[in-house]
Each structure stands twice: as structure tokens, then as C-alpha cells.
Amino acid sequence: MVNSGGRLSAEGRKDQLEQMASKQLDVLVIGGGITGAGILWDAGLRGMSAGLVEKSDFASGTSSRSTKLIHGGLRYLARGEIGLVREVGSERMLLHERLPHLVEPLPVLLPIYRGGKYGFLSTSLGIALYDRLAGVKPEDRRRMYRRGETLMMEPLLRPEGLLGAGVYMEYRTDDARLTIEIIKSAARNGAHVCHYAEVTDLLYRNGRAAGVRVRDRLSGDTYALYARKIVNAAGPWADQIRRLDQSSEPGRLLLSKGVHLVVARERLPIGKAVYFDAPDRRMVFAIPRGNKTYIGTTETIYEGDAGEPSATVRDAEYLLDAVNRVFPAVRLQLSDIESAWAGVRPLIREPGKALSDISRKDEIFVSPSGLISIAGGKLTGFRKMAAKVVDLIARQLEDETGVIYPPCTTDRSPISGGPPFEPSRGASEQRSGAGTGEQDDGGDARDSFMRQAVRRGIAQEEAAGLWTRYGWNAHEILQYFDDLGTDNGGRRDDDRAGKRLLLAELGYSMDREMTVRVADFLSRRTGWMIFDRERAELVSGDVIAYMSRRLGWDDARVEREWSELLRERRSYTVQD
């Protein structure tokens, strides 16, 4: 087994908190989204003792509610943010190489209409420039198509006014799984983590932020955790943490909400992802994913609780209207929506600018108490953001303690779930390997895994799903599957193999990914609550039964899990 994550077991939560409480850490991170996860991973790799607390499940904030793209930054190009295009381009190559099962190429078609935002020539030149800046591999570079070819590729596109299309490359991911794999990578290097652990207060020594008070939301116990450096990576809640820190002036952040809708692929049967103009000239994606297509996003100022954003009928109507104008034959309706999600993005206020014009750049604020806050940014740039924060911490610790920490090595370190990786080969060397086709893109490893799974009676589709979710760690799940034994006398029994596989995945998830609630598994470990609601409903009884047996839940707790599951289900539904 390669690159398996550290042991983050459901039963080990309390131990993680107690270990954090038993010593002074170098770094304590508030927030288990991608930003906090990246900082934890980087700090641990540099030899700092590091811990992270998350008030809900890992990635339950914005990091499971994005468009799920590792962007190349075409949009930044339109705003002239050349440096950002270069940076995200190289980051996305690196993530694809390190996690080929989870960061996959996704060709995107950009239809060009008469009177649209961009013409044929500007699209062609724009994508060509983007390809160069973002370091896109020659075989993935832009292709331009005339009207007839475009309609052959995507016959559902509105033909009136269509001039042609450009196709460029994006990368699709699963944001929650990416975050969890980074947390597992950090834990494997010795970092401590605990979820459902909410920071309720900051603790001070001589006026300096020196620790946090944490409430374990599952047991009700409280802990005081101390660290030389406290990092606020609470995403849309960052201002709330800054408010706890009396010394800092909150209000630097503006929250913007984005909504996505999921429909059956057969209701919007597109061959490629399509990125098109909405009537208000904002750009909207329609992205195929398995047997679903998802559509997003809206962008509106959000003033509610960052923990409860929801997709409203108004949001849904905006997106349906945009889709129906570009694909008039599909006539999507509210009743076609199978699920939806809403995410809140913290943006750094830029007075006088329209929401869509505000830069997605990240920014670090250091308050007079020493609290370090990081906000803004993208999933795609998480590693670079983390490096900036940890560089700052390393400089501060060197001044204060004299200890010198090495530079960032996350570009040379394996990630849980990814292929075997030789840290001695530099990142750029590995990248140039990828460019020449020498790098293992996971195809052979996937084929071998599929053969092993199918030999055990696991359906092809199930095996493929496991590989997409867990990559090289999926072999461990086969081990769990074997350990659950076979009693079908060598006969093929899809139902029994299906249930055994479910329990194998759940067992792995509880041992290695700290799954402690049913919704953790159905929403963020597997994604079924969003992309396969029928299955989520079908298996929820088995999942609750297994978890309650293993974790010793009483009837009241089982009841709470059911209502929590219903609440979670509602949150992924369009609300009136």
C-alpha cells in the first residue's frame, strides 16, 4: 500500500485533542478547509509541531461547496492578472501529477455568439495566451471550431447567432476529498487534527494571542490549547474569529454566495463542459460528472450566517434561465433539480468595485495580538497560500526562538491517495516528465486496481468510483473488503458484494478519515448526498446501523443522526 494517510480514526478524536492540550504547539490552525489543511501540512513538513481544529466536519465550509475545478485562471487573464494565471497554471499541473485520480483534465467548450462577451478572434488569442502563461501541455492547447463543427460536438447549443467555439483545458476535482487527503498527509507527518472542535475564545499571554479555548461539540468537553502561533483560516468565518480577538478590526471581508444545481445527465446531455454567458454577461459553467450535470454559479452578496447558505428558488431560476437560453431544447425546470449546493466565498473588500470584479487574491492580516489571519484565495492556489503563511511563521519563530526552519517542501512531497513519488526528484523535473509523457498518469495503476476489484466480484462501476475517490489508497479498501470475508460460496452476488463494499469503505473512512457522523460519510467522503442522492438514501440505514454498533450510540444518538441527516439533505436542496 502506498501513501496511505495517517491514522485518523473516529475513536481517536479525544486523543488528538488531549495531545494538543498536553503541550505548547508551534502552530495551531483554526479551520479545517483547504486553507487550514494546506498550512497544517506545510508547517508539519518543515518540522513545526502543528495542530488544527475544525468546528464541524473537515471541508464542510466553502471547501466542499466550490465549482470543483482546479482552475487555470482564464478569468484572471480577462482581468489582466497575469502573475496569477502563471501561478495557478503551474499549481494545477503539480496537483494533477500528484493526484491524477482526483485532479483530472476537463475540456471546456466556450461557445461564441454574435454580440456575446468575446468574439471569435479575441477568444482564440485569449486562450492561446492563457495556454502559454499557464504552461498548458501542447496536446491540451486550445482548439477553435467553426459553427458547423461546434454544433456537431454540442448539438443542443442554440444555433441562432452561433459563430463557433473555443475548447480549452480545465481540471475537475472533488474539493472535499482534496481537503481530506491534505489533512491525512499532514497527520501522516505527525500533525494533530480534530473536527467538531469549535474555537470559542482566544487565550492571551502578555497581550499576545497564545492559545484558544475549544469546545468539543460531540462530548461538550472544553480544552485550552496553546501554541506559539495561532492561524485563523476560518474562511467566511474569519471575521468572527477576528472579532474574538479584540485587538483586530473586523469587517475587511465581504461574503459572496455562489449556487450550483445538479440535474440528471440525460436532462442536460452535454459531451463537454460548457462555459457560457448568462443574460447579465456573467459566465456560467455546465459540467458533466458521471451520470449528472451540474450548473453554476450565481454570485450575490451574502449577509447571513456563513454556516447556513442555501440555494433559493431565485438562484435556481437564474441558472435555469441561463441554461435554457443557451440550450433551448432542454427546457430545464425546477422539478429537474435533484440537488443543489451553496457556498460562501470570503473576498477582500475593494470599495467601489462590482462583486465579480473583486480580485480572488488571498491576503494575510497580522493583528496587534499576533493572530495571523488568511482569507480570500482559491482552492487551486492553496499550496502557495500555505507557503506564504508558513514562511511568515518561520520568520517570526526564528526571531523569537532562534530556531531556523527549512523552506517549503510541499511541491516535493507526496500526497495521501497519490501515486508513489520519489521526493529526491525535484518538482520541476517531475513536471517536465509529465510534459513529455513519461510521468505515470495513473492509467496502469487504475487498470490493475480495477482487475483486482473485479476479480473479487465488485462491479466495474463501483471499482471505478472507489479509484476516483481514493486513488492508490483504494487498495486499502480492498483489504477491508477481504477482511469482511466471503460467504457466497464463490458465486457472484452483486447485492452482497455491494453491501460488503459499502462497509469496507465506511470502515476505512472511520479508521483513516475520522468519519464520526453519517453525513460526514454521505456528503464529504463519498459525495453521494450531492451526486447520487438515491444511493445516499438507500444506504443510510446500513451506514447508521454500522456506525452506531461501532461507536456504541444509544437510541437518542441514533435519532439525532437521522435528524442531522435530514437537515443535511435539506441543505442540499433548493429552498423556498
**Binding site residues, ligand FAD, CB under 6 A:** 30-36, 53-56, 60-63, 66-69, 71, 198-199, 233-237, 241, 258, 297, 343-345, 377-380
CA distance 415 to 471: 11
Nearer to ligand FAD by Cβ, of 151 and 262: the residue is 262
Q: How far is the CB of 549 from ligand FAD (least distance, A)?
A: 28
Of residues 306 and 458, the one with the C-beta less far from ligand FAD: 306
102's grid cell = 482526483
Q: Which 3 state secondary structure label does DSSP give 523?
A: helix
CB of 553 to ligand FAD, least distance (A): 23
Nearer to ligand FAD, 10 or 259 (CB): 259
Residue (84 or 497) nearer to ligand FAD, CB? 84
Least distance (Å) between residue 33 CB and ligand FAD: 2
The string of DSSP codes covering 225-245 is EEEEEEEE--GGGHHHHHHHS
Query: Which residues, other chains included, contact 92 with Cβ-Cβ below 8 Å and sequence gap of 6+?
Result: 70, 71, 72, 103, 134, 171, 380
- In this structure, the strands spanning 192-194 and 50-53 are parallel
* Least CB distance to ligand FAD at residue 116 (A): 22
Q: What angle do CA 196, 202, 203 make, to 5 degrees?
A: 120
Strand stretches in 217-338, DSSP E: 222-232, 253-264, 273-277, 283-289, 292-296, 300-301
Would you state the cell numbers that stand for residue 130, as one nine-digit string? 492563457
In whole angstroms, the minimum distance from the beta carbon of 137 to ligand FAD comes to 20
- Of 184, 223, 183, nearest to 29 by C-alpha is 183
Minimum CB–partner distance for residue 60 and ligand FAD (Å):
5
- Of the pair 356, 448, the CB lying nearest ligand FAD is at 356
Report the 10 Å Cβ neighbour count for 288.
18
Rounded distance between C-alpha atoms, residue 10 and residue 452, angstroms: 28
Minimum gap (Å) between residue 414 Cβ and ligand FAD: 21
* Cβ 211 vs Cβ 371: under 8 Å: no
The minimum distance between CB 382 and ligand FAD, in angstroms, equals: 7
- Looking at the Cβ atoms of 68 and 101, the one nearer to ligand FAD is 68
Instruction: Rank residues 195 and 475 by Cβ distance to ligand FAD and give the closer one.
Output: 195
The C-alpha atoms of residue 375 and residue 359 are separated, in whole angstroms, by: 12
Report in angstroms how near the CB of residue 538 gets to ligand FAD at its nearest.
28
Residue closer to ligand FAD by CB (options 374, 510) is 374
Least spacing, CB of residue 573 vs ligand FAD, in Å: 17
126/296 with CB nearer ligand FAD: 296
Distance CA 145, CA 143 (A): 7
Q: How does strand 104-113 pair with strand 192-194? A: unpaired
Q: Extract long-range pairs of 454-460: CB within 8 Å, 24+ residues apart.
A: 456/481, 456/482, 456/497, 457/488, 457/492, 457/493, 457/494, 457/497, 458/497, 458/501, 459/494, 459/497, 459/498
CB of 191 within 8 A of CB of 43?
yes
Beta-carbon contacts of 361 under 8 Å, excluding residues fewer than 6 positions away, are: 81, 84, 348, 376, 377
Instruction: Using the minimum distance from each CB to ligand FAD, give the nearer residue, 140 or 201.
Output: 201
Using an 8 Å Cβ cutoff, are 210 and 6 in contact?
Answer: no
